[in-house]
Structure 1
Amino acid sequence: MNHDRIEFANSLRGFAALAVACGHLIGLFWLFPRTVSVFTGTPEMVPILPDPMLSHIVLWPVNLGVLGVAIFFLISGMVIPISLSKSSWLRFLAARVMRLFPTYAACFTIVLCAIWLGTWYFHVPWPLQTRDIIFHFVPGLRALAGTRHIDSVVWTLEVELCFYVVCAMAVSLFRRNSLFIFAIPIILAVAASAQSFFPPLFIISIAPYLTFMFVGVAFFFLHTRRISALQAITIFGIVVASTIVAWVSVLGLNYLFDIGRSYLVGLFVFTFCYRFPGLVPHGRFVRFMANISYPFYLVHAVPGYALMRIIANDAGMPRTFAILSAFALAISIAAVIHYAIEIPTRRLSGRIQTDGHSAKIMAGSPPIISSKASAVGSLAKMSVRVFQRSCV
């Protein structure tokens, strides 16, 4: 493998996290005070006129926050198959839980502290119910329980978790380098377009994002030379078309036009960086932001909103100072959590995954896909179980 191209994906993590933070702290905070009030539990901010021009620039015509999320999804689609190849499907899932959940719990605790400080400062009632908080500590469970969003970013983690489950269920296809893996986005698109015939399923509600992540899987197949350039073009076309169908079916045509262009630009940025990895910066700060990108992504929003709400609107400090303070706070908290929690749990996650590598053949693949089944039989079994057993 070309290690420069792997490094490009790692560097993009930092840029993606910064893009999301710019969209939220520079754009959304100033233009959507009602949203800020909902997430922080503080009184709605008095508009500071005129609106900062930069706030409009980071949200239109390309929303930097959405672009950053799109890049995160593509990175996951590209690198998760690599992790999946290192162990059994069960160890893979256990390792992902160990890698993600402790850090998320720590970051969500910080979010709760920020909400408490904001409500204490403005002398307003505590806005959250205990049930919502408990479910929110377990991403995925929150979505299934239908409780409220508290930190504004957990939904993307829940999409990631569902993608992990789908990939683990299709592990046999990945290990055989089967192109039938790209039947999954087609199945998701068909299910999304026929959602009225299904009971409410979480996996269908996030089908647009899951299908998009399979574009990243196509990059993985191309990167590892499992497919030719001509095959890649065909597969990219199929997956993108499936994404559009799922998007229109679940989210609507207007949403596709409003948000889809940011995903399209994210795909262009990712493709450009894949094609020209040497042009992607790899400096010390870029590596640092890539390393802390996960906790930074989790803690930048609500704590940043609460701090900016006090600094800019209540204390009357300059906007630039408020924005820089929010970024500094998020980076500082993320760095502490990265070194104190994320690194140790990442090492433990690696041990969970690699300890079972020698026994992965005995562990076998999930019962959903039999390695001895025919290609048609495998695809049929996979399609049934994807919608019966994943993320319901």
Structure 2
Amino acid sequence: MSVAVFHLLAVAGWGTGVNIWGRPSSAVFGHVFVAASYGWVGVPLFFIISGFVIPMSSWGRTPAQFATSRVVRLFPAYWVCVLVTTAVVRLYPWVFKPLPVRAVLTNLTMFQDPLGVHRVDDAYWTLWVEMKFYLLFMVVIWLGLNYRRVVAFCLIWSVATMWVGELNQPWLNAIVMPGYSQYFIAGIALFLMFRYGRNLVLWLILGLSWVLSMHFYAGNPWQQIVRQSYAPASILVTLCFIVMILVALGELNWLRWRGLTTLGQATYPLYLLHYVIGFSVIYYLNEKLSLPPALLLILVLAALVSTAWLVHRLVERPFAPWLRKALSRPILERRLPQVPMQRHPAVAGQRQPVAVRPVDGGPGGHDGDSRLRRPAADPPFDGDLAPR
């Protein structure tokens, strides 16, 4: 919500050549504009949350299961929101220019950034950052998740974050992601506290991540544009760390309001819908109606949240189980026609050989006596000749 308010109230069409409020937001909203201009701090917060929940959701899973869970979680809502956003821009192209069909198709892959294609919605820049985090963490999942490996991953990534600037290699910057990596690392360390308990090593990793966040956020482009004090942003980023520490230590377990779950379910679709659609709707209604700006902002935010919940309810819920089941099928599985099976057909005057296998035992597959054999059990048969 802080990111949505930041975009709709503070950014307000900056960079598009259109001011959605008709005049500068600072003049429209006064002191509220100053507070909203720090709403970008919501991005570091959900990067920390991502660092916390990704190890939680991948613990005990194979790389294939983890990849499946990420596709199921991200793509159904994303595909729908990309298409809806494209439709809105084509129907009302006065704030944003429609992209070519090829660019929209590329956006559906979620790889528009590495492919150098314009985004359907500029807010989607965080999705590629998230995707790179998943790919990096996939290495640890492939090796096998345990406490020591995850701690080593955090330490190596932290050192690389500090060292990458000296190497001055763009490709390495793209992989290490200095400026964002410290938030993911902090989230991972907090998850380890949550799972294994606090200790000095985890506190040191968390402290280093906080120091790096204080160092890197000074390069935030919006802060440089509006030339506002960095002190409020540093306080807000620190509060994000404190909130997540309280979560990891179980101090917020008393928060059990069911409405938080409902809002949480709408969070991802809201992020996907709020920017381009929010700008376009506010610009249109501001021209057609004479509503107070604050009331118009509240109504648009309420409509966006409601639409986001509908995306969750009508898209994510029904399609996620189907997509998970489809992706979980073995790639090489092949259904062959059922053929009647004859077990050990009788041949006149001959005794059928019986398959044998060694008894489990020593390194040779038996317990040292090669004469100890037992018949191999017939494999189960269900009419499908595909190998299991």
Asked whether the two chains share a fold, i.e. TM above 0.5, the reply is yes
Q: Counterpart of 2:161 in structure 1: which amino acid?
A: A
Given candidates 161, 165, 168, the residue that maps to 2:138 is 168
Q: Counterpart of 1:326 in structure 2: which amino acid?
A: V
Q: Percent identity?
A: 20
Question: Which shows bigger deviation, 257-266 or 80-89?
Answer: 257-266
The CA deviation at 1:331 is 1.8
> Retained in 2: the 8 A contact 1:99–1:345?
no
Q: Tell whether 2:297 aligns with 1:323.
A: yes
Q: Tell whether 2:17 aligns with 1:34.
A: no
Q: Counterpart of 1:130 in structure 2: which amino acid?
A: V
CA distance in 2, matches of 1:286, 1:197: 43
CA distance in 2, matches of 1:138, 1:210: 23
> Retained in 2: the 8 A contact 1:77–1:213?
yes
> Retained in 2: the 8 A contact 1:67–1:265?
no
SS in 2 for 1:34: coil
Q: Counterpart of 1:223 in structure 2: which amino acid?
A: F
CA distance in 1, matches of 2:295, 2:218: 41
Q: Which has the larger radius of gyration?
A: 2
The CA deviation at 1:47 is 0.4
> Retained in 2: the 8 A contact 1:86–1:353?
no
Given candidates 185, 189, 202, the residue that maps to 2:174 is 202
SS in 2 for 1:71: helix
Give 2:30's aligned residue.
Answer: 53
Given candidates 188, 191, 201, the residue that maps to 1:231 is 201
The CA deviation at 1:321 is 2.8
CA distance in 1, matches of 2:219, 2:158: 13
Q: Counterpart of 1:232 in structure 2: which amino acid?
A: L
Give 1:137's aligned residue.
Answer: 108
SS in 2 for 1:231: helix
Give 2:164's aligned residue.
Answer: 192
Q: Tell whether 2:185 aligns with 1:219.
A: no
> Retained in 1: the 8 A contact 2:28–2:293?
no
Pairing 1:1-392 to 2, within 5 Å after superposition: 18-29=1-12, 33-35=13-15, 37=16, 46-47=22-23, 50-60=27-37, 63-64=38-39, 66-119=40-93, 122=94, 126-139=97-110, 141-171=111-141, 175-178=145-148, 179-197=151-169, 199=171, 202-204=174-176, 206-225=177-196, 228-243=198-213, 257=230, 262-275=236-249, 276-278=251-253, 280=255, 282-348=256-322
Q: Counterpart of 1:110 in structure 2: which amino acid?
A: V
Q: Counterpart of 2:64 in structure 1: which amino acid?
A: L
- Post-superposition Cα deviations, 1:42-84, rounded to whole Å, max 9, x if no partner, equal 6775306833125424335xx12x2222221111111111222
| Structure 2: unaligned runs, 5 residues or longer | 331-388
> Retained in 2: the 8 A contact 1:94–1:352?
no
CA distance 1:323–1:307, shift in 2 (3 Å): same
- Post-superposition Cα deviations, 1:7-43, rounded to whole Å, max 9, x if no partner, equal xxxxxxxxxxx222222233332xxx433x36xxx67
Q: Aligned-residue CA RMSD in angstroms? A: 3.4
The CA deviation at 1:88 is 1.0
Which TM-score applies when normalising by structure 2? 0.71
CA distance 1:250–1:152, shift in 2 (3 Å): closer
CA distance 1:193–1:243, shift in 2 (3 Å): farther
SS in 2 for 1:343: helix
CA distance in 2, matches of 1:210, 1:303: 30
The CA deviation at 1:112 is 1.3
Which has the larger share of helix? 1
Q: Counterpart of 1:334 in structure 2: which amino acid?
A: A
CA distance 1:319–1:151, shift in 2 (3 Å): same
CA distance in 1, matches of 2:243, 2:134: 24
CA distance 1:209–1:349, shift in 2 (3 Å): farther
CA distance 1:220–1:150, shift in 2 (3 Å): same
CA distance in 1, matches of 2:298, 2:55: 37
Which TM-score applies when normalising by structure 1? 0.71
CA distance in 1, matches of 2:24, 2:208: 46
CA distance in 2, matches of 1:251, 1:320: 26
CA distance 1:187–1:130, shift in 2 (3 Å): farther
SS in 1 for 2:92: helix
Question: Which shows bigger deviation, 314-323 or 88-97?
Answer: 314-323
> Retained in 1: the 8 A contact 2:8–2:275?
yes
The CA deviation at 1:169 is 0.8
- Post-superposition Cα deviations, 1:120-169, rounded to whole Å, max 9, x if no partner, equal xx5x8944233432222222x21111222331221111111111111111
CA distance in 1, matches of 2:60, 2:328: 6
- Post-superposition Cα deviations, 1:287-306, rounded to whole Å, max 9, x if no partner, equal 21111111111112221111
CA distance in 2, matches of 1:68, 1:250: 13
CA distance in 1, matches of 2:217, 2:57: 28
The higher relative CO (CA closer than 8 Å, separation ≥ 6) is in: 1
The CA deviation at 1:348 is 4.4
